[in-house]
Structure 1
Amino acid sequence: MRTNTLPSLSENTFLRYFNFIALYFAQGVPEGMLFYGIPAWMAMNGKSPGEIAGFAVACGLPWSFKFIVAPMMDRYTFLPMGRKRPWVILGQIGLIVSCIYMAYVPDPLNNLNQFMIAGFIVSFFGAFQDVATDGMAVDVIPIDQQARANGLMWGSKMVAISTTLALGTWLLNEYNFTVSILTLATMIGIIMLVPLFLRERQDEKIVPWTAGTASIENKKMQLTNWTALLKSLYSVFSLRNSLILALIAFITQGSYNYLDVLLPIFTVTELGWTNLDYSQVYATATLIGGISGMVIGGFLIDKFGKKRMMNIYFFCLVASTLTLVFIKSYWINATFIYGFMLLFNIMNVFASIGLFAIAMQCCWKKVSASQFTLYMTIANLGRIALAALIGPIKENFSWEITLFVFAFFIALAWLLLQFLNINQQVKSVVRLENKDVQTKANLTLVKV
């Protein structure tokens, strides 16, 4: 008998999409300021590329710790509320509280240590929520909807980044830092209502003290000991295609972050823009990229195939960056820079949709949070590693070489993509699943 009138996420396609759009929007809310708005504000106030990169590394570091919490989420949960939903709610609460803490850091520009600690904590809860959300997505989104869902999810995140970048920067300039960050906390608080009222599966509890029970599906998927979890994770992640995918994720996501951190420094210090100029232009480019991803990003992947479209996206990224590098005389042309930012954001979104759809398809559901998070952890190690290169590269080389580094890494990822066999990975996962079922059956016979 149903304990509520709303369909669950596993039952209703619209609610699935709505839920993950909302959760990815919540992830993008703090990122708009942490990774874009604040670096531009710091550059506008005379902070060095090394100090700005240091803040970016502090904010990026927690995303590389995701793998520490992912196995815990696979191993432990409160099943009557769902496999991952309790963790999602906890992550949302943490985001709200940490944003409030960050808002009250005194004189952040001259108190960089505490400022970086606050950025680290906000990012930690953003990463925490991301792990739970991705695990939930792998559990409840059917394979034939994963590309479309990733388009909507990643597009929603980019829309949130652009919205909070523009709004947060405006509030920062018109009012103050505290007002800007408290506004973000309020937005996340409103979004929290979505996971609070949408169950993973029917008849689960809304909150611990309400009526409900754990679903049979979740009980079957839930691992009950660390040995089984770690063995399963090792089996699937040691596959050849898993390792290639992890390396592609490291290089691509690191490259995107490298250019994301570099662009506010480039436009403010080299081109003479203000932080407001940069935030408005980049927010618009990000918004267009996000909406494009939501509308056609997943459709293109479904229609023409993941690898084919990824090849096109990588080509566009390399070609556009080389054009920027080799015609420096056009840097004074604002329209030219606008065009590059727009193309970069669209290709970034589309390529990320493709990468995440591939990663979801390559996952084994019983260790979904751990495996997908391991891909994303490696990707975020790339974000830290390449962002850390900005200071030394810019200090020793010209802007042309500094920008060329981005094109070089994308070209390297493009080459590796040719060795990735998605169908073979899926077949390997099916073999692992069949072997696991047979092992359990044999153990049952032995006990009998």
Structure 2
Amino acid sequence: MNKQGWGAALKAVVSGRMLVALMMGFASGLPLLLTGSTMQAWLKESGVDLAMIGAAAMIGLPYTLKFLWAPLFDRYTIPLFGRRRGWLALSQLALVLALLGLSMSDPASSLWGVAAAALLVTFFSASQDIVIDAYRRESLSDQELGLGSAMFVNGYRVGMLLAGGGGLILADLLTFPKMYQLMALFMGLCILVTLFSPEPREAAGSPRTLREAVVEPFLEFFKRPEAITILAFILLYKLGDTLASAINVPFYLDLGFSKSEIGAIAKLFGFWATLIGGTLGGIWILRIGLYRSLWLFGFLQMASTFGFVLLAQVGYNLPMLTGVIAVENFTGGLGTAAFVGFMGAMTDRRFTATQYALLSSLMGVPRVILSTPTGWMAGEMGWTMFFFLCTVLAIPGLLMIRRFRGWERHA
């Protein structure tokens, strides 16, 4: 990873490729909370118990299993729009329809109907993510990956902000079904970004048969001596931060905060902290390199998770909530920028969609599978001990960074 001066780094921020990364990040981030914390608030308001709300994290299973169908996106090309843009436009159109279907369901009368509609949303959202990740890796140079990942994270967080904080406020002003219909409209506008973005050049040696698309990416990756270490690191690096975030909306509601307060303070106030964190994260990666960035940003993430412990002790306090969430958003932008850049650098350009899907699927394990019992854990342990455990779980991932000390010299 080349280290650049501040002037060159700032110039790179405003390039066209970074703008596309930003907008595609928005498209990727928008659906996530619509089947996550925003839906948790909808379920809680409809009288669903906390254990079932926690178990609803299994709806996100497609984010973990997306590597299973990712080879299709490496092998086949949609006519007219190209291999990446064609699949992306198709996934986004299906996602719009799935969101409209979710808006027509009702947790009070048919929880399984909500689950089925939400599962379609996560499936098409995961499919969109496969292609967006491949597009970003193929359209950026190795030196631009860190900054491009930061711009992607910024857009991603903006999409999450709209669906999370904005979604809760809109649900208060309108209803949850009408809010989901409005989000479907925003998702439809993302298709225009796809259609007007340039198609990246296909790498030499890309798979020409389905067998090559399915088998070769895994053979290439698992022949590497460091393959298992890479997978373990991806699983552990954001484990504590992810588990803490999985059930935070019910936590805020239990402390007495209203949906509007959560939307305005927990989400909207953290907006600028997120953008600053993501942008500075990308620039710092260019300046100090990926290895040191992973250390620094990972430690700051752990510190921000401990902030939830303090909030649990203080209770209902708007300034305290504002400070905790601002720090969490800032460090989240930093850590995710380095983490996403690391995963992109670990992929072979010939099999971008499949290998990145494999790595990012493992990244989603804490959010989907390991987050499933978080509601039960918080109920049994209490919020203070639960968030303290999440803080401690950040340590193994930090210790593993030492295994990549020599990585940048060979990147």
| Aligned position for 1:298 | 282
Amino acid corresponding to residue 182 of structure 1 in structure 2: Q
User: Kindly tell me: are residues 140 and 42 of structure 1, through their superposed partners in 2, closer, same or farther at Cα, counting changes over 3 Å?
Assistant: same
Q: Which range moved further: 315-324 or 380-389?
A: 315-324
CA RMSD for the aligned pairs? 2.3
Q: Please give the per-residue CA displacement for 1:387-438, whole angstroms capped at 9, x wherever unaligned.
A: 11313322331222211121122111111122124627956xxxxxxxxxxx
User: Kindly tell me: are residues 219 and 377 of structure 1, through their superposed partners in 2, closer, same or farther at Cα, counting changes over 3 Å?
Assistant: closer
5 Å-filtered alignment, 1:161-310, equals: 161-201=160-200, 218=202, 220-229=204-213, 230-269=215-254, 271-310=255-294
User: Kindly tell me: are residues 320 and 178 of structure 1, through their superposed partners in 2, closer, same or farther at Cα, counting changes over 3 Å?
Assistant: closer
User: Kindly tell me: are residues 232 and 262 of structure 1, through their superposed partners in 2, closer, same or farther at Cα, counting changes over 3 Å?
Assistant: closer
Amino acid corresponding to residue 24 of structure 2 in structure 1: L
User: Kindly tell me: are residues 420 and 306 of structure 1, through their superposed partners in 2, closer, same or farther at Cα, counting changes over 3 Å?
Assistant: same
5 Å-filtered alignment, 1:13-32, equals: 14-32=15-33
Q: Please give the per-residue CA displacement for 1:317-348, whole angstroms capped at 9, x wherever unaligned.
A: 32343455368543343322321222112212
| Aligned position for 1:127 | 126
Question: Deviation above 6 Å: which 4+ runs of structure 1?
Answer: none
Distance in 2 between residues matched to 1:259 and 1:292, nearest whole Å: 22
Distance in 1 between residues matched to 2:141 and 2:135, nearest whole Å: 12
C-alpha deviation, 1:49, in angstroms: 1.8
Distance in 2 between residues matched to 1:424 and 1:311, nearest whole Å: 14
User: Kindly tell me: are residues 426 and 362 of structure 1, through their superposed partners in 2, closer, same or farther at Cα, counting changes over 3 Å?
Assistant: farther
5 Å-filtered alignment, 1:334-353, equals: 334-353=318-337
Rg comparison, structure with higher value: 1
Distance in 1 between residues matched to 2:300 and 2:87, nearest whole Å: 38
Distance in 1 between residues matched to 2:251 and 2:73, nearest whole Å: 40
1:43 touches 1:264 (CA, 8 Å); kept in 2? no
Q: Which range moved further: 27-36 or 154-163?
A: 27-36
The 3-state SS of whatever aligns with 2:404 is coil
| Aligned position for 1:365 | 349
In the alignment, structure 1 segments of 5+ residues that lack a partner are 1-12, 202-216, 428-448
In the alignment, structure 2 segments of 5+ residues that lack a partner are 1-13
Q: Please give the per-residue CA displacement for 1:185-239, whole angstroms capped at 9, x wherever unaligned.
A: 11111121111122315xxxxxxxxxxxxxxx52734211344442343222342
2:133 touches 2:356 (CA, 8 Å); kept in 1? yes
1:242 touches 1:425 (CA, 8 Å); kept in 2? no
Q: Please give the per-residue CA displacement for 1:66-122, whole angstroms capped at 9, x wherever unaligned.
A: 1012111112224763332211111111111111111111x3333211111111111
Amino acid corresponding to residue 44 of structure 2 in structure 1: A
The 3-state SS of whatever aligns with 1:303 is helix
2:62 touches 2:122 (CA, 8 Å); kept in 1? yes
C-alpha deviation, 1:254, in angstroms: 4.3
Identity value in percent: 19
Distance in 2 between residues matched to 1:360 and 1:409, nearest whole Å: 24
Distance in 2 between residues matched to 1:400 and 1:48, nearest whole Å: 20
| Aligned position for 1:54 | 55
* Paired residues, number: 397
| Aligned position for 1:403 | 387
1:290 touches 1:346 (CA, 8 Å); kept in 2? yes
1:254 touches 1:385 (CA, 8 Å); kept in 2? no
5 Å-filtered alignment, 1:367-382, equals: 367-382=351-366
User: Kindly tell me: are residues 119 and 328 of structure 1, through their superposed partners in 2, closer, same or farther at Cα, counting changes over 3 Å?
Assistant: closer
| Aligned position for 1:444 | none
